[in-house]
Structure 1
């Protein structure tokens, strides 16, 4: 289906919005009246600019407070509408959105509303225009789509139809199955938006918190299926009011918007994508560093050994069990401090994963590859992190480890019990958090968990985990074959250079690992005594257990099913710090209850 976006969904001038929509690949736009009024471009210039960019103007909106009003007021409304019809002629569009009235002058009289909308539609027909009537969720008397449809049906004019808006329908809890009973030719337009599920005034919810389909909690795909079942053949159009999107760069927002519609079509069964290839784990994490010494020392204290060197690039491979870290000094030379640059995702079908990513507009990363280097597909996540699709040690598929020549390990291997990467936590730029959730959900096929808010000493810290994989479990162990990413949003906007990230490694014996790491000189994060005093009040421990946690700086959490989570943190090196975790009893969280203590401790330590 054709894809459109309302100019109100993007930041910038009207010309900038049109250019961003065209670059992203949209077919058309809705012109929001305020954007036109604020533009120095005449309507004819807007029409020509859109045409030059390959965009149609699918809708002009909104016209408010028209129907069910006293005769004198309605006469003024018809005059106003006539002027708007002339603007539409100059713009080259033929559909006007009319919202259900919120005017205090509006009367609760469906027959009057139908008669006045019929009169408006007749004027529109004479001007070559048609009217799409939309029920606002906060309309004075008409606030549901089925009520709006009854009025449109009663008016019985060919130039009058209905506009369906997913936010107005789903925010009120209306059942979209009734849409299938509306004749498809009378559904003049379909506007789409998602939103997080929130308990607040619906007008404020609508004006500030809408988001693109797939970023919130509404079943937008189900609504679209009902519209298509009814016979709707018009564009899928996004109308999103969002404070962050209005401040973010229009180009990236437009790409994210189009990605949401491509994924929505797939979810609604309208058009198919290459199937999701869900990663089963983290093959490696790559750190870019200008100086590998400090991070190498910390990895050594954690029990990692330098086991390989890239055959053509200044990249070292550090391993312990199935946990692998790459240290890249070439990329690090462009950075002021050590930072996470890339993640290798263990993927059942790397080629299939790359095809799906490209279909969902993920930027494919060019890779400088010498003769003999293993071919790897990679895309860029919204925050710039490179994501590689990997197959490690599987016959018949290129193995990235073949690019590394073995190097002698200094002394005897001295592991600490770390066996694999448990999860990777990425702090997102303030304007890309929702985009990142949609990207990782659609491109990688990961399943998002509920968003949580965590108290930071300087504000609220938002966090959302995404997981995927087989989820198979051993008795007493966490699920295996599972990829875990955690997306965080810091409490205040910061420059990219200030965003902290961390890698979490899994062990089967947190106490033994902590003792070994500390004995080898690693600086661990100091946890206040008050925290462990509170643990003593909340939980019952075996004799001496809490004393051990206090001694080693281990944090503890227990879920409602009895699953347990033990973890500790290293001090930061550059923008990176490490976490070591032990999961037992099927615990699937991330110790969110402990995050405020960790954040405060890092703040006190100057990290």
Structure 2
């Protein structure tokens, strides 16, 4: 599949955008007109730069408001078009995007539109240019891709074809199956973009909320399968208008964009295999566009460990001890400690910069084949995390997530044990090995500019499926929360949009995270664990009395049970037949712990209790003078 991206997707100058696209591995670009107009580079400079970078100049865009106009305006539009055709000759480009008219259309007549497009096609032919006609979802008279295609067929000129844009099609819920009946030589270009499902006007949705494939909710694999089965073999290019992407680092965004097309190519190949009835590769229908696939790996089977890094680890060690974790020893060659509770393992890494407060630094996931899983992640543009090992030490495969959290892929074991724990020396007696305790979920706060990137990373590299996102009230506003999980819920990862910290605020100091994250441990008797932790001096997050009055009103709990919840600062939720008990610790640095008990198949996270937690933590930060 030939990959492309529109320069409008990225921040920076035209030169910076082109260089970032080349480094990310794109085959070509769509040159957005404004990027050229505002650039000091001449058309000849752009052409030479593209050649030096190995980038094709695949599409010049956009040419607006051409059709459905009176004759006098048409003549002016043809004059504008010819000027652009001459410019494209200097650039060495041969395809231009022409959008259906929005602003100046006055005559709703397909016969007239076809005649006008025919005149444009003949003029383009004289300059060796192909015109890709696109139906904008908000076009005045032409807003349906099938309508645009009918006009192209009416004209039947070799220099006029159609551009299929997934956003304009899927945002209107048009059926994509008719694409398969299009003549492939009449599909001149294909653009793809994803988007969250939003209730708003389609123009604003398009201009501000498009995202890369895999970061939204459109069924792009289905769209692409129809395109491939139609016989199209040209570029598949990203056209994403997004305010965040255009403010983010150009190199990172280009890599994220490329990752999304790699993921989409794989998903489309799988969809085609299903459509072909799962036939063996040798007997499947052949298509002009060859779709590559990645090493396929099963879902991760669970959390292997969570790692917290800090300069001063005393507070963290005390907190873990009060929770009931046992110190399992120091690593024989590294400045790290291992703490265990049942099969929940927390590593304390002391190799942190000076004065760095505790923060989640790494997560280990159990997978069937760490090498294959790492190879997949690397092909999806994940940076490799180097790890120095000595003889007889586990060879972890590590990659970096978009927020710089290190992700280690560990060899799964049927009994949930970890082979690498033998690298640690003698520690405390961990207690009965039959104790049930596992890492239930981890909550990671994502910088605003990398939130969508993180969703795609965990979807594509770790096969986690995104649940519908939620918004949780807090004293600083709504917190966007996105759950990523395996189908069996063995791994649950919660991504929260980190709040923007004012410049100069204490939490935003260099080397310190400006947001809170937590590790949740599941046990089978939360009340007993809470009592034991209280006896060990654990500081619980204090829950307001008003919460328990509301809880009683909502659920009519047994008085003794409600009294126990109140006594131990426990929170409660119910979902159908399931029940959820949990409590939170105080925060150390940017990390706190949650302990949960799931009863009767409860599958949530106590979302109704999240505003209480946010409010209490906010008060605690304010009392410490932290913004």
Q: Secondary structure at the match of 1:588?
A: coil
Deviation at 1:104, TM superposition (A): 3.9
Question: Which residue does 1:135 correspond to in 2?
Answer: 135
Change (3 A) 1:464 1:335: farther
Change (3 A) 1:299 1:416: farther
Deviation at 1:491, TM superposition (A): 3.7
- Tell me how far apart the structure 1 counterparts of residues 227 and 144 of structure 2 sit (CA, whole Å): 16
2:534 to 500, 518, 541: 518
1:344 to 341, 347, 364: 364
Query: Over residues 33-71 of structure 1, what are the superposed CA-to-partner deviations in whole Å (9 max), with x where a residue is unaligned?
Result: 111111111111111111111111100000001012100
Superposed CA RMSD in Å reads 1.7
- Tell me how far apart the structure 1 counterparts of residues 103 and 300 of structure 2 sit (CA, whole Å): 53
Question: Which residue does 1:467 correspond to in 2?
Answer: 485
- Tell me how far apart the structure 1 counterparts of residues 355 and 376 of structure 2 sit (CA, whole Å): 31
1:569 to 584, 596, 599: 584
Contact 1:276 1:443 in 2 (8 A): no
Question: Which residue does 2:374 correspond to in 1?
Answer: 354
1:539 equivalent in alignment to 2:555: yes
Q: Secondary structure at the match of 1:432?
A: helix
Query: Over residues 204-262 of structure 1, what are the superposed CA-to-partner deviations in whole Å (9 max), with x where a residue is unaligned?
Result: 00000000011111011111111111111101100000011011101111111111100
- Tell me how far apart the structure 2 counterparts of residues 595 and 345 of structure 1 sit (CA, whole Å): 26
Q: Secondary structure at the match of 2:362?
A: strand
Contact 1:448 1:466 in 2 (8 A): yes
Deviation at 1:417, TM superposition (A): 6.2
Question: Which residue does 2:443 correspond to in 1?
Answer: 425
Question: Which residue does 1:583 correspond to in 2?
Answer: 598
Query: Over residues 296-339 of structure 1, what are the superposed CA-to-partner deviations in whole Å (9 max), with x where a residue is unaligned?
Result: 01000000111122110011111110011111111x23562011
- Tell me how far apart the structure 2 counterparts of residues 392 and 406 of structure 1 sit (CA, whole Å): 24
Query: Over residues 250-289 of structure 1, what are the superposed CA-to-partner deviations in whole Å (9 max), with x where a residue is unaligned?
Result: 1111111111100101110122111133111111111111
1:551 equivalent in alignment to 2:551: no
- Tell me how far apart the structure 1 counterparts of residues 85 and 123 of structure 2 sit (CA, whole Å): 9
Say which is worse superposed, 491-500 or 296-305, in terms of deviation.
Answer: 491-500
- Tell me how far apart the structure 2 counterparts of residues 120 and 321 of structure 1 sit (CA, whole Å): 72
Change (3 A) 1:282 1:398: closer
- Tell me how far apart the structure 2 counterparts of residues 579 and 343 of structure 1 sit (CA, whole Å): 16
Deviation at 1:358, TM superposition (A): 1.3
Query: Over residues 5-53 of structure 1, what are the superposed CA-to-partner deviations in whole Å (9 max), with x where a residue is unaligned?
Result: 0000011111111111111111100001111111111111111111111
Question: Which residue does 1:312 correspond to in 2?
Answer: 333
The gaps in structure 1 that reach 5 residues or longer are 472-478
Change (3 A) 1:415 1:427: farther
The gaps in structure 2 that reach 5 residues or longer are 270-290, 503-507
**1:171-320 residue pairs with structure 2 within 5 A?**
171-269=171-269, 270-320=291-341
Contact 2:362 2:408 in 1 (8 A): yes
Deviation at 1:543, TM superposition (A): 2.9
Deviation at 1:500, TM superposition (A): 1.4
Deviation at 1:370, TM superposition (A): 2.2
Query: Over residues 445-491 of structure 1, what are the superposed CA-to-partner deviations in whole Å (9 max), with x where a residue is unaligned?
Result: 0111110001110111000111115x2xxxxxxx6xx1111111034
Deviation at 1:399, TM superposition (A): 2.6
Q: Secondary structure at the match of 2:314?
A: helix
1:405 to 408, 419, 425: 425
**1:20-59 residue pairs with structure 2 within 5 A?**
20-59=20-59
Contact 1:195 1:218 in 2 (8 A): yes
Change (3 A) 1:420 1:58: same
- Tell me how far apart the structure 2 counterparts of residues 12 and 493 of structure 1 sit (CA, whole Å): 24
Say which is worse superposed, 275-284 or 7-16, in terms of deviation.
Answer: 275-284
Question: Which residue does 2:465 correspond to in 1?
Answer: 447
Contact 1:456 1:491 in 2 (8 A): no
- Tell me how far apart the structure 2 counterparts of residues 235 and 134 of structure 1 sit (CA, whole Å): 15
Question: Which residue does 1:483 correspond to in 2?
Answer: 491
Deviation at 1:107, TM superposition (A): 1.2
Deviation at 1:408, TM superposition (A): 4.6
- Tell me how far apart the structure 2 counterparts of residues 121 and 408 of structure 1 sit (CA, whole Å): 80
Q: Secondary structure at the match of 2:372?
A: helix
Contact 1:303 1:414 in 2 (8 A): no
Change (3 A) 1:518 1:428: same
Question: Which residue does 1:475 correspond to in 2?
Answer: none
Deviation at 1:392, TM superposition (A): 5.3
Q: Secondary structure at the match of 1:514?
A: helix
Q: Secondary structure at the match of 1:431?
A: helix
- Tell me how far apart the structure 2 counterparts of residues 104 and 513 of structure 1 sit (CA, whole Å): 70
- Tell me how far apart the structure 2 counterparts of residues 573 and 346 of structure 1 sit (CA, whole Å): 27
- Tell me how far apart the structure 2 counterparts of residues 302 and 521 of structure 1 sit (CA, whole Å): 9
Deviation at 1:416, TM superposition (A): 13
TM-score (norm 2): 0.92
- Tell me how far apart the structure 2 counterparts of residues 344 and 333 of structure 1 sit (CA, whole Å): 22
Aligned length: 592
- Tell me how far apart the structure 2 counterparts of residues 490 and 455 of structure 1 sit (CA, whole Å): 13
Q: Secondary structure at the match of 1:498?
A: coil
Deviation at 1:585, TM superposition (A): 1.3
2:388 to 365, 368, 371: 368
Question: Which residue does 2:607 correspond to in 1?
Answer: 592
Q: Secondary structure at the match of 1:97?
A: strand
TM-score (norm 1): 0.95
- Tell me how far apart the structure 1 counterparts of residues 593 and 433 of structure 2 sit (CA, whole Å): 16
- Tell me how far apart the structure 1 counterparts of residues 376 and 605 of structure 2 sit (CA, whole Å): 29
Contact 1:2 1:234 in 2 (8 A): yes
1:502 to 518, 525, 532: 518
- Tell me how far apart the structure 1 counterparts of residues 101 and 194 of structure 2 sit (CA, whole Å): 23
